[in-house]
Homo-oligomer: A and B are copies of this chain.
Amino acid sequence: MSTESPNTATTRNSKGRQLVKTALEACREFVTAQQLHTQLGGRLGLATVYRNLQALAVNGQADTVRTDSGEMAYRHCSTAHHHHIICRGCGATKEITAEPVERWAAATAEQHGYQLIGHTVEIYGFCAKCGAATR
């Protein structure tokens, strides 16, 4: 080895690595490992999809979030991103932009001496319809 062994990430330019990366870039949205595996139609083993997604995340080439149901979702990094507002009643989801938060996140990271990688923002509540039904 040269200077220092990197980390958990994969290093080779293998079939699986290519497929996962390409497929992830093709999706403009967050996808789970399972979805990606299905989408690849068995051309790649499930475990391999997991491995490569993790590797991409570690290498900073993918962002990760947790879905509502606790699954991990990945998205290719350079995609313009947005956040969600979720209704606890009917599950309706709207995309929202969060520019003030983006700025705040950057500033806060800096304040604490962190190099910003990413952030997670979600708002949940009751939408107009469900809010009315609740009262």
Contacts and interface: CB of A to CB of B under 8 A. Distances in A.
Given A120-B122, A123-B108, A85 B101 contact: no
A125 B120 contact: no
B85 A114 contact: yes
A96 interface: yes
A38 B31 CA distance: 34
Interface residues of A, number: 36
Taking the full assembly, how many copies of this chain does it contain?
Answer: 2
A128 B100 contact: no
B100 A123 contact: no
Interface string A74-115: 000000000001011000001010101100110011001111
A115 B113 CA distance: 35
A125 B121 contact: no
Interface of A: 58, 66, 70-72, 85, 87-88, 94, 96, 98, 100-101, 104-105, 108-109, 112-128, 131, 134
9 contacts: A70-B70, A85-B108, A100-B100, A101-B121, A109-B125, A113-B131, A114-B123, A120-B120, A121-B121
Q: Across chains A and B, which 8 residue pairs bring their CB atoms closest together, nearest first?
A: A113-B128, A114-B125, A120-B122, A117-B125, A115-B131, A119-B123, A66-B66, A116-B125
